[in-house]
Chain A
Amino acid sequence: GAVVSQHPSWVICKSGTSVKIECRSLDFQATTMFWYRQFPKQSLMLMATSNEGSKATYEQGVEKDKFLINHASLTLSTLTVTSAHPEDSSFYICSAPTSGGQSADTQYFGPGTRLTVL
């Protein structure tokens, strides 16, 4: 299957700092990537759709100024959590469809980033 990487795998930061998470598609191009947040023992909640060359689309209730998304190339999307607070502590996972821009089907997930804000 397709490979999606994420970096870092975990990060601990102080309240008020910003954290950048990278998501890369290693063996395919992705004009679209998705960012999810997962709290313990809960399902995956879509935060935003990252679009290469245009603005991200945010789900209702997700603050676009707090969760900055940049889709810099066909293989890289970044999520920056600005002014992080303890309630932002969560497991952040990205995914990418392998269809080369034809469909959002068949998404492959990155390994996730565990963010802990002290």
Chain B
Amino acid sequence: GENVEQHPSTLSVQEGDSAVIKCTYSDSASNYFPWYKQELGKRPQLIIDIRSNVGEKKDQRIAVTLNKTAKHFSLHITETQPEDSAVYFCAASIGGYSTLTFGKGTMLLVSP
């Protein structure tokens, strides 16, 4: 089955810096890659997703890039703010009714 590796497990940055979280996946058939943000004790919230027919997607300060050949995708957050502090999860699925496989998460801490 699919295996998703996520790095780093923790990431500390200063406010205004950029943050990058990287994930790799094992199943070349995977074609859907969402990113979720989870604050302590709350539900994971979808922040951005990308499908395998595109290489990059942007939404304001958040962007995701996908390299299908290398089987990795990354989350980029620019101009980080303290409210960006949370745990971020990447995930992958092969679409249809296949399930999402999650990475282990990255705790992002943005210091003022």
Contact = CB atoms under 8 A, between A and B. Distances in A.
B45 A44 contact: no
Given A1-B46, A93-B44, A105 B99 contact: no
Contacts of B98: 104
Given A43-B102, A43-B104, A44-B89, A104 B44 contact: no
Contacts of A1: 46
Interface in A7-65: 32, 34, 42-44, 46, 49
Contacts of A109: 36, 43-45
A105 B32 contact: yes
B61 interface: no
A43 B89 contact: yes
Contacts of B102: 43-44
Contacts of B36: 109
**Which of A32, A107, A108, A110: most chain B CB closer than 10 A?**
A107
Contact of A44 (B41, B44, B95, B97): B44
Interface string B91-112: 0010111111011110000000
A53 to B, nearest CB: 14
Looking at chain B's contact residues, the main secondary structure is loop
Contacts of A107: 34, 46, 100
B104 A42 contact: yes
Given A43-B89, A43-B104, A44-B89, A104 B43 contact: no
Contact of B99 (A34, A93, A110, A111): A34
The 5 tightest CB contacts between A and B, nearest first, are: A109-B43, A43-B104, A111-B43, A104-B97, A105-B32
Interface of B: 32, 34, 36, 41-46, 49, 89, 93, 95-100, 102-105
Given A46-B99, A93-B44, A105-B32, 11 more contacts: A42-B105, A43-B104, A91-B41, A104-B95, A104-B96, A106-B34, A107-B34, A107-B100, A109-B36, A109-B44, A114-B41
